[in-house]
Structure 1
Amino acid sequence: MATHYGQGYGIDTKPGHPGSPGEQRHRLPAALRAPVEGRTWRELGYVLLSLPISVLLFTYAITMVSLGAGLLVTFLGVPVLAAALAGCRGFGALERARARGLLGLEVADPEPLRTKRQGFMAWIGAVLKSGASWRSLLYAVLQLPWAVFSFTVVVTFWSIGWSLLTYPLWFWLFPMYGGQGGMQLYGDEQHRIYLDNPFEITVTALVGLLFTIATPWIVRALTTVDRVMVHGLLGPSRLATRVVELESDRGVVVDTAAADLRRIERDLHDGAQARLVNLAMGLGLAKEKLREDPQVAAQMVDEAHGEVKTALQELRDLARGIHPAVLTDRGLDAALSSVASRCTVPVQVEVDLTERPAPAIEGIAYFTVSELLQNISKHARATWAAVEVWRTENRLMLQVVDNGVGGADPSLGSGLAGLAERLDAVDGILVVDSPAGGPTRVTAELPWRAERTR
């Protein structure tokens, strides 16, 4: 499986739409089954409904905006204009729901109104200052001409296609009730050409078949413009989306920092601090035994010396977990080689960087590879692994590969999910490709930020 972490919207996700999980393979080519597919009929229904809805929306928007603009010389113009924009926002919600139901288009709601104070005047100001309100008004104005065009094209092609395709079934109406041999192709005062013999009827049906086959793709192309309009004008702006992402990333960073602080406190309390307490008690006992039994006191001092060495090693490991000195002094190549040497399987490290990234990005890259190698040691049951680091334009790329049993799934809430959140906090991406039976390939992508003076 391949897992991408990132935010996206405006994607067809309903079964029956291309790319959806519920899509199944068909024996008939797409061109032949398109005229009878459910997607085609939903898109046709969307186009047909667009005309009356756009007329209603356009009429409301133009009437209310014109009324509000005309009343701006008085105080009443401002609330009327705000009501016009609020109504357009309401229509926008209905249009998003219609696009979701008929086009399978998932569009997030635009940014809500932000008011610093309570009250009617504060609400009016928020509506007038909201970019989403004015985009909804622009949608109301642009939707009508496009709806008229798409309605005309679709109805014309659809009616011509099906009427010609079914012509062999109803051409008998002309001689029986119309007094002519068939559908008239040309006529003047002297000559008239009717489609009345078997060959002409067959050719007419074939032409209708071509129109019928082409019409769904024309409808699909026209609704693509509707998708763009709904997504661009009725969805959240890029700036608002970016603000939401940054707020979410800030929360992840804060939670990660708090978790790291708790881990450091726990390691200090349960590790070095406990050993130093035992060391102090042991030295105190040795001091008391020094005069009574110097040999026992010497043995206790020797044990205390061993405890000091162990405590120092734990403190070094803790400091390395916070930020290893080798990373600061010598860079990613040496730091990753040091991590690889502690892995339980042989690891080949290849770092192809002509310069060093910013310390923050370098640290994230180091801890990403470190955690992935720990996962290999604990869970992969691999016999070898490889680490590659390189730069592509303005991105720092990391790849860790092993020949283990595979089956790593970030969606199950493993450490990979937390690692992906950390990368996402700095606009990074994590891709996991780990089929059952292996091999596992984890690729991380980080923004490249040049190293500043350290």
Structure 2
Amino acid sequence: MATEYGQGYGLGSGSGFPGHTGERHHRLPAGLRAPFEARSWREFGYVLVGLPVGILLFTYAVTMVSLGAGLLVTFLGVPVLAAALAGCRGFGAMERARARALLGLRVSEPEPLRLKKQGAMGWMGAVLKSGASWRSLLYAVLQFPWSVFSFVVAVNVWAFGWAMLTYPLWFWVFPMYAGQDGLQLYGDETHRVYLDNPFEIAVTALVGLLFTLATPWLVRALTTVDRVMVHGLLGPSRLATRVVELESDRGVVVDTAAADLRRIERDLHDGAQARLVNLAMDLGLAKEKLKEDPRAAAVMVGEAHGEVKTALQELRDLARGIHPAVLTDRGLDAALSSVASRCTVPVRVEVDLAERPASAIEGIAYFTVSELLQNVSKHARATSAAVEVWRVENRLMLQVVDNGVGGADASAGSGLAGLAERLDAVDGILVVDSPAGGPTRITAELPWRNEPLTG
């Protein structure tokens, strides 16, 4: 839907994962409670598990790819290399599941293999040509050195912080049972330095507390890199995602065009065409009565003349619904003013455009405002409305506001949902703000696609 932004990462209410929108009130600030939160321990667990996983991925990737590359002089290298890439794709699925479970990171599966022909050869060709396969291999190679670095940093900082924080406790235990003088900082044949007095012990514990409080944030920063790697290398590519969006938008455009053609055909059949058929019949009867009863024939001709006017008005309305002449001749300002004059409530129109957008975008903007004002007339129970159109950089912005009862919802399968799909087909966005009780504010954003001002 065009009313939604970005990709969700949350797992739902109360999950504690990033992206969670539920509000909870804590007595302790985030910096003090972070070492004890489940999220911090999950992220630390992700770093711990990352090292053995990194070793496994790196060993598999390097071994299989090296073997496949070495066997490329024979035909055996191709299936081995394809198997290596397929295995990396499988490990990628495992890593997405691990990131989802421990980091709360939801990453969609990459684009599937496109088999041009069936059989083993078709499968190997699809694997070798897939960008997702090579990104999974790159992830397997890069994840190992990063997992070593993050494991060493996280474990050492974590152990160092907790060891120093709990030093007063084990300083009390060890001298009693092991005869130690304290924590030895330095020692040689002639000198030894211990932390063995109350002040030094307190300072050690304080430094340990600072490290302990900082460790969750350090681990979170380390896992941010993992998030970027998983999202960028193991998810769908931007190009593939864009292709899917364009295919979906093309389907919406085709369906919309077909629906418009059916509407035009229905309006012609039920409206102007039916009137013209009746008009032909009436004129035929008038022709027959012309000699016998000229007065009756004149009456029938007068009625036929009225039918002609009605049919012409319906044809004008139909033509206006396809593309109004005033929009082509005078632009959005005059066209929207004409639409506003037909609304059942007073409408204020403000168009602030120094030049005209592309004709296709101009037409979509016109029909968007027209449909929104029809909703105001039919459903809003408003006493006034306003239409504003302006430009922001390379985007055409339009907004329709009314003081009605509100409650409009684009996700409820209403006409707003269809309007949002039409805008989405041209990279547009529809934002609906309509609380119960009103007012309703609907904003549409369209690409500008420059066209010089004419006329």
TM range (shorter): over 0.9
**One-letter amino acid of the structure 2 residue matched with residue 262 of structure 1:** R
Two-structure CA RMSD over aligned residues (Å): 2.0
Q: 1:332 offset after TM fit, Å?
A: 0.9
Give me the whole-angstrom Cα distance separating, in 2, the residues matched to 1:67 and 1:18: 41
CA 1:79/1:18 → structure 2, altered by over 3 Å: closer, same or farther?
closer
Contact 1:333 1:351 in 2 (8 A): yes
- Residue 227 of structure 1 and its aligned partner are, at CA, apart by 0.7
Counterpart of 2:210?
210
Q: How much has 1:270 moved relative to structure 2?
A: 1.8
2:346 alignment partner AA: P
In structure 2, stretches of 5+ residues that fail to align are none
Aligned residue for 1:63? Answer: 63
Matching residue of 1:11: 9
Unaligned runs of 5+ in 1: none
Confirm or deny: 8 A CA contact 1:108 1:235 kept in the other structure. Answer: yes
Q: Secondary structure at the match of 2:73?
A: coil
Displacement of 1:373: 1.1
Q: Distance in 2 between matches of 1:28 and 1:283?
A: 89
Query: Match of 2:251?
Result: 251
Change (3 A) 1:116 1:4: closer
Alignment of 1:262-273 (within 5 A): 262-273=262-273
SS in 1 for 2:116: coil
Equivalent residues in 2 for 1:5-44 (5 A)?
A: 5-6=3-4, 8-9=6-7, 11-14=9-12, 15-44=15-44
1:124 aligns with 2:124: yes
TM-score normalised by structure 1 residue count: 0.94
Q: Write the distance in 2 (CA, Å) between the matches of 1:284 and 1:27.
A: 90
> Are 1:380 and 2:386 counterparts?
no
- CA deviation profile, 1:314-334 (whole Å, cap 9, x unmatched): 111111011001111111111
**1:202: how far off?**
3.2
More displaced stretch, 200-209 vs 413-422: 200-209
Q: In structure 1, what is the equivalent of residue 442 of structure 2? A: 442
SS at match of 1:32: helix
Is the CA contact (8 Å cut-off) linking 1:17 and 1:23 kept in structure 2?
no
For residues 396-435 of structure 1, give each alpha carbon's deviation from its aligned partner in whole angstroms, at most 9, with x where no partner exists: 1112222222221111111111111111111111111222
Deviation readout 1:100-127 (Å, 9 max, x if unpaired): 1211112111111112111111211111
Whether the 8 Å CA contact 2:86–2:127 is kept in 1: the answer is yes
Q: CA deviation at 1:453?
A: 10
Q: Counterpart amino acid of 2:248?
A: S
* Residues 278-332 of structure 1 deviation map (CA, whole Å, 9 limit, x = unaligned): 2233333333443444333333322222222111111111110110011111111
Deviation, structure 1 residue 44: 1.2
Does the Cα contact within 8 Å between 1:9 and 1:108 map onto a contact in 2? Answer: no
Deviates more, 1:136-145 or 1:109-118: 109-118
Structure 1 position 191, deviation (Å): 4.5
SS at match of 2:401: strand
The separation in 2 between residues aligned to 1:234 and 1:427, in whole angstroms, is 26
Aligned to 2:48: 48
Deviation at 1:75, TM superposition (A): 1.1
Q: Percent identity?
A: 83
SS of equivalent residue, structure 2 residue 396: strand
Provide the residue aligned with 1:235 in structure 2.
235
Size of the aligned set, in residue pairs, is 452
Please list, as runs of the form range in 1=range in 2, the aligned pairs for 1:187-226 lying within 5 A after superposition. Answer: 187-226=187-226
What is the letter of the counterpart of residue 61 of structure 2? A
The verdict on how the C-alpha distance between 1:176 and 1:225 changes in structure 2, with shifts beyond 3 A counting, is: same
The one-letter code matched in structure 1 to 2:21 is P
Offset of 1:382 from its aligned partner? 1.8
Greater mean deviation of Cα atoms: 15-24 or 217-226: 15-24
Deviation at 1:193, TM superposition (A): 4.0
Mapped partners of 2:260, 2:7: distance in 1: 32
Distance 2:116 2:358 in 1: 38
| 199-208 vs 155-164, greater mean Cα deviation | 199-208
Deviation, 1:221, is: 0.6
Q: Structure 1 stretch 318-327 or stretch 353-362: which is displaced more?
A: 353-362
CA contact (8 A) 2:9 2:19 kept: no
For the residue of structure 1 that corresponds to 2:411, the secondary structure is helix
1:52-451 mapped onto 2 (5 Å cutoff): 52-451=52-451
Q: 1:10 to 1:125 in 2, by over 3 A?
A: farther
AA matched with 1:393:
E
Aligned residue for 1:171, secondary structure, equals: helix
Q: Which amino acid aligns with 1:71?
A: L
Secondary structure class of the residue paired with 2:72: coil
Deviation at 1:7, TM superposition (A): 5.8
